[in-house]
């Protein structure tokens, strides 16, 4: 009889960042703390949104992760290997568009990619594959100088895809694009994730992250303020209010009276009554049906996403208190005190400003 061993070890995260700190120093001006103990975890197969207002440290984090800048402190692992030390051995597995893409304007996209493919020993068939993946094949023989911003971004993504990476890192990939371009970019990223790629995508727009990403890390002033599944974070900040619609204004008044007597806060008027403080929408339905009042409709009030984002990122972190995490949103296993986390931080030498 053969015995099958099932490996129950959870796969290590694709990206694991702990306590990352970076201060840009200046001789003439006071320095800037860009990262103040940032933590982030990205698991395999996710599209992970890295969300924060302008200046919150997203680009700095991505640059450090890719070895384009050095951290002052912190620990980073990609595919379980420490970086930046192991970046050379990981380079084939990571594609990134972090700096503004620059191309020779008189070259076509096909020529640009073909030259890049040649330098890493890839055949031209790979160029055709990436042109198809980013939806540029029809325009691939036009000079890049005639390309829109969205097309240039797609060309940049195509160049990052040439080596068929397992992890793709994109810094604000839809910046400056029109709605059609944003939609195309989103569909392209979803297609890549569907093929098994892990994506880390930075953005300052919650609505964009909500439409694209499975999970996210929200950062403010160089610290993580919350992280987890996008749907869970949005739900956790959704208002508990519901709007019930009754047959007419008289029925609305009766319903309002019943709900008020049950201790719920009521607003609105006529046949639409807004209720907050109920345990659940079902509790509202039950209270009313017990009194013979029947609803024509019940809607949960949607979260105002931008308000959620501002509430999370608007919290003023206190310097020296690290990290500022919304513990209420973490799964119990992930909760630890800031002090416990501080112990896991190692120092990497060699800061670059
Ligand atoms: N090379 C640099 N020298 C000095 N300060 C810098 C440098 N790069 C970034 N900063 C500062 O570090 C902070 C974080 O900047 P960073 O670009 O990482 O934020 P971001 O979240 O990517 O912002 P954005 O969404 O505007 O791109 C900001 O205060 C920024 O002004």
Top mutation candidate among 28, 34, 69 for ligand 1, by most atoms within 8 Å of CB: 34
Distance CA 244, CA 264 (A): 13
320 pLDDT band (50/70/90 cuts)? very low
Determine the pLDDT at residue 60. 96
pLDDT of residue 85: 94
- The β-bridge partners of 298 are 244
**Spatial separation of the C-alpha atoms in residues 97 and 169, rounded to whole Å:** 6
For the stretch 209-253, pLDDT in tens is: 888 999 999 998 899 988 999 888 877 776 677 889 999 999 999
Q: Can you give the pLDDT at residue 302? A: 63
What average pLDDT is seen over the chain?
Answer: 82
Q: Which helix (H) or strand (E) holds 40?
A: strand 32-42
* Distance from C-alpha of 18 to C-alpha of 39, rounded to nearest angstrom: 4
| Domain coordinates in residue numbering, the chain | 15-236+306-342, 242-300
Q: Which atom of ligand 1 is nearest to the CA of 26?
A: 4
ipTM, 2 dp: 0.97
Q: What pTM value is reported for the model? A: 0.74
| pLDDT the model gives residue 334 | 39
At the second CATH level, the architecture of 15-236+306-342 is 3-Layer(aba) Sandwich (3.40)
Report in angstroms the alpha-carbon separations of 199 from 45, 63, 93, 309. 8, 16, 12, 21
DSSP secondary-structure letter at 28?
S
Q: Which of 25, 26, 59 to mutate to test the pocket of ligand 1 (most atoms within 8 A of CB)?
A: 59
Decide: 55 in ligand 1 pocket, CB within 6 A.
yes
In this predicted model, which residue has the larger pLDDT, 174 or 310? 174
How far does the centroid of ligand 1 lie from the alpha carbon of residue 56, in Å?
Answer: 7
Tell me, using a 6 A CB cutoff, whether residue 324 lines ligand 1: no
CB of 24 sitting under 6 A from ligand 1: yes
Residue 319 has pLDDT above 50, yes or no: no
Percent of the chain with pLDDT over 70: 82
Q: How confident is the model at residue 348 (pLDDT cuts 50, 70, 90)?
A: very low
Between 4 and 350, the more confident residue is: 4
Produce one character per residue of 39-48: b if its CB has 16 or more CB atoms within 10 Å, e if not.
bbbbbeebbb
- 223 ligand 1 Cβ < 6 A: no
Contact (CB, 8 A) for 278 and 240: yes
How many Å is the maximal CA-CA distance in the chain? 77
Q: Write down the pLDDT at residue 254.
A: 93
Q: How confident is the model at residue 279 (pLDDT cuts 50, 70, 90)?
A: confident
pLDDT band at 100 (very low <50, low <70, confident <90, very high): confident
- Which helix (DSSP H) or strand (DSSP E) does residue 231 occupy? helix 230-236
Centroid of ligand 1 to alpha carbon of 70 (angstroms): 14
Among 41-55, 196-210, 313-327, which stretch is predicted with the lowest mean pLDDT? 313-327
For ligand 1, atom 7, which residue shows the shortest CA distance?
Answer: 24
Indicate whether 120 pLDDT > 80: yes
Q: pLDDT confidence of 305, banded at 50, 70, 90?
A: low
Q: In what order do the strands lie in the sheet with 272-276?
A: 265-269, 272-276, 242-245, 297-300
pLDDT in tens, 15-54: 999 999 999 988 887 789 999 999 999 999 999 999 998 8
* Range scoring the smallest mean pLDDT among 61-75, 167-181, 225-239: 225-239
Residue nearest to atom 17 of ligand 1 (CA): 59
Residue 347: what pLDDT?
26
Tally of residues, the chain:
353
């Amino acid at each position: 009889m053969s015995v099958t061993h099932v490996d129950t070890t959870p796969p290590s995260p694709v990206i694991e960042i702990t306590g990352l700190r970076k201060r840009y120093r200046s001789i003439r001006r006071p320095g800037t703390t860009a990262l103040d103990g940032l933590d982030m975890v990205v698991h395999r197969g996710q599209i992970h949104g890295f969300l924060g207002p302008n200046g919150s440290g997203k680009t700095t984090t991505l640059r450090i992760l890719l070895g384009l800048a050095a951290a002052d402190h912190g620990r980073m692992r990609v595919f379980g290997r420490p970086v930046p030390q192991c970046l050379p051995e990981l380079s084939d597995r990571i594609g990134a568009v972090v700096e503004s893409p620059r191309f020779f304007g008189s070259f076509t996209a096909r020529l640009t990619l073909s030259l890049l493919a040649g330098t890493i020993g890839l055949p031209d068939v790979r160029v055709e594959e990436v042109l198809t993946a980013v939806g540029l094949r029809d325009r691939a023989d036009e000079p890049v100088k005639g390309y829109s911003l969205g097309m240039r971004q797609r060309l940049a993504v195509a160049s990052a895809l040439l080596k068929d990476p397992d992890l793709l890192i994109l810094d604000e990939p839809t910046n400056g694009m029109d709605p059609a371009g944003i939609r195309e970019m989103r569909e392209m990223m979803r297609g890549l994730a569907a093929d098994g790629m892990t994506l880390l995508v930075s953005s300052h727009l919650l609505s964009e992250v909500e439409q694209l990403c499975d999970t996210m890390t929200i950062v403010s002033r160089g610290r993580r303020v919350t992280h987890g599944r996008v749907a869970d974070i949005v739900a956790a900040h959704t208002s508990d209010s519901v709007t019930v619609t009754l047959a007419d204004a008289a029925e609305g008044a009766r319903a309002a009276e019943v709900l008020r007597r049950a201790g719920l806060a009521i607003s609105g008027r006529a046949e639409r009554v807004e209720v907050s403080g109920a345990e659940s929408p079902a509790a509202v339905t039950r209270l009313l049906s017990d009194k013979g009042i029947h609803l024509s409709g019940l809607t949960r009030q949607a979260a105002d996403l931008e308000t959620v984002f501002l509430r999370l990122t608007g919290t003023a972190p206190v310097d020296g208190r690290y990290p500022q995490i919304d513990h209420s949103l973490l799964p119990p296993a992930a909760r630890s005190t800031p002090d416990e986390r501080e112990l896991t931080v190692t120092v990497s030498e060699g800061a670059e400003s």
